Amino acid sequence: QVQLQQSGPGLVKPSQTLSLTCAISGDSVSSNSAAWNWIRQSPSRGLEWLGRTYYRSKWYNDYAVSVKSRITINPDTSKNQFSLQLNSVTPEDTAVYYCARDSGGKDWYFDLWGRGTLVTVSS
């Protein structure tokens, strides 16, 4: 059974870096038929796709315009996981953050989700 297990702090101070990890079981971060995403949800912004990483003979990343200057998503093949780093956070980054899988091709829907991590940005 494929599962995504999220970990990371639930409280981050303004201007600091939000860091989350998503461990994959039952699939591979290096799969040629999957991509690994971060999505967040807040009352003000709804469900918002942030970015993804995927492997097709080499590694690719794809980021939303709204966070492109602040975001990094990295795969870790040794641990079969991927991570999210969001720099210079503000209270507007307070949200539930989800990791999710898509097929990596044109069928960019999300068939597997982590349980979510509530991240609060506050001093």
Partner 1 sequence: EIVMTQSPATLSVSPGERATLSCRASQSVSSNLAWYQQKPGQAPRLLIYGASTRATGIPARFSGSGSGTEFTLTISSLQSEDFAVYYCQQYNNWPPAFGPGTKVDIK
Question: 78 vs 107, which CB is nearer to partner 1?
Answer: 107
Chain centre to alpha carbon of residue 78: 18
Question: 93 vs 102, which CB is nearer to partner 1?
Answer: 102
Measured CA to CA, the distance from residue 28 to residue 8 in angstroms comes to 21
Q: Is 1 in the site for partner 1 (CB under 8 A)?
A: no
Q: Is 21 in the site for partner 1 (CB under 8 A)?
A: no
Contact yes or no for 51/38 (Cβ under 8 A): yes
State the CB neighbour count (10 A cutoff) for residue 61. Answer: 13
Among 47, 59, 60, 91, binds partner 1 (CB under 8 A): 47
Q: Which residues of this chain interact with partner 1, rule CB under 8 A?
A: 46-49, 62, 64-65, 98, 100, 106-111, 113-116
